[in-house]
Amino acid sequence: MIPSNYFYKNKNFLTQTNYSTCYHLGTIFRKFFNNPICEYIEREIKYSNIVYNYEVPTPKFLDYGYSSRYNKHYIDFEYIMLETFQDKNDYSCEVIKKVLDIINKINSIKPMHKDDFWNENRMSDFLKTLNIANEVLSGSTDIDMSILKKLPCDNIIHGDLTETNVCFRDQDVYIVDFESACIGPKIWDKCYFFASVFTNNIPDYIYSFITEEELHVIQIIAKIRYGRALRKQLRVDERAKGVGLWVSMG
């Protein structure tokens, strides 16, 4: 057992976000949660195990604990040297196809349990952030929400497939950070990935990957991400450009 203070003491720092701080030592990747919301911790453990058991490439869950010294919950995963999609910076059609294959593998897992997180948590957050975005964009939150409410929620989804949660080990795609995973719309992960990754330029080949329904959902997700940026006052210009790009597609 590795003492929790070892990671702080030896400064084996990897990454930090608003939600977590990550360290590593040898074969251990430790994720400390900055926000002590147990539901998200339990959700990450649960869905990480589910997708791992279905042979989705993701680091294996090892252990869960609480550091009284630092007043933080943590999860241990196997440590794998990964490169994020953002750092890889390869937007080729071949790479996108590989990512979509893994997304489809996740979304094809049949749920064996009930999960109301999408309707009870995510939809209320979408409503708030769309209101913020549409106030600036002069859009209609009612129309956006009506589209989201019509999406069938029958599939396991990652829920937050950003350019930093899609990673690579050599040429293999890995998916990390399942704290937002739930049972939701099958097209959500694909649409969220596109809205997150393509904020400066949309390659012509993308048209062949998306349906008209998916385009509408991507546009809504771009608004949601813009609304969050406005709320936090972070990356506002980048997210605004992303909305403009996707809206201009139709």
Q: Are residues 230 and 194 in the same domain?
A: yes
pTM: 0.93
Helix (H) or strand (E) holding 173: strand 172-175
Q: Are 114 and 196 in contact (CB under 8 A)?
A: no
Q: Are residues 56 and 88 in the same domain?
A: no
The pLDDT of residue 71 is: 87
Amino acid 204 reads: D
Q: Are residues 242 and 170 in the same domain?
A: yes
Q: Express each pLDDT in 206-241 by its tens digit.
A: 989 999 999 999 999 999 999 999 999 989 999 999
Instruction: Please compute the mean of the pLDDT values over residues 126-138 and round it to a whole number.
Output: 97
Q: Express each pLDDT in 45-101 by its tens digit.
A: 999 999 999 999 999 999 999 988 888 899 999 999 999 999 999 999 999 999 999
Q: Are residues 149 and 178 in the same domain?
A: yes
Q: Are residues 105 and 8 in the same domain?
A: no
The pLDDT of residue 26 is: 85
Give CA angle at 121 (119, 127), nearest 5°: 85
Q: Are residues 65 and 141 in the same domain?
A: no
> Rounded CA gap, 184 and 192, in Å?
13
Reported as a pLDDT band with limits 50, 70 and 90, residue 7 is very low
CATH number at residue 27: 3.30.200.20
The pLDDT of residue 13 is: 82
Instruction: Please compute the mean of the pLDDT values over residues 240-247 and round it to a whole number.
Output: 94
Domain coverage including residue 152: 83-247
Last residue of a domain, one of 63, 78, 93: 78
Q: How many domains is the chain built from?
A: 2
Reported as a pLDDT band with limits 50, 70 and 90, residue 11 is low
Last residue of a domain, one of 78, 96, 115: 78
Q: Express each pLDDT in 148-200 by its tens digit.
A: 999 999 999 999 999 999 999 999 999 999 999 999 999 999 999 999 999 99
Q: Are residues 49 and 109 in the same domain?
A: no
Instruction: Please compute the mean of the pLDDT values over residues 106-118 and round it to a whole number.
Output: 94
Q: Are residues 69 and 172 in the same domain?
A: no
CATH number at residue 198: 3.90.1200.10
Last residue of a domain, one of 39, 59, 78: 78
The pLDDT of residue 225 is: 97
Q: Is the pLDDT of residue 3 over 90?
A: no
Helix (H) or strand (E) holding 248: none
The pLDDT of residue 34 is: 83
Q: Are residues 47 and 96 in the same domain?
A: no
Q: Are residues 177 and 212 in the same domain?
A: yes
Q: Are residues 160 and 218 in the same domain?
A: yes
Q: Are residues 177 and 121 in the same domain?
A: yes
Residue 84 forms beta bridges with which residues? 167
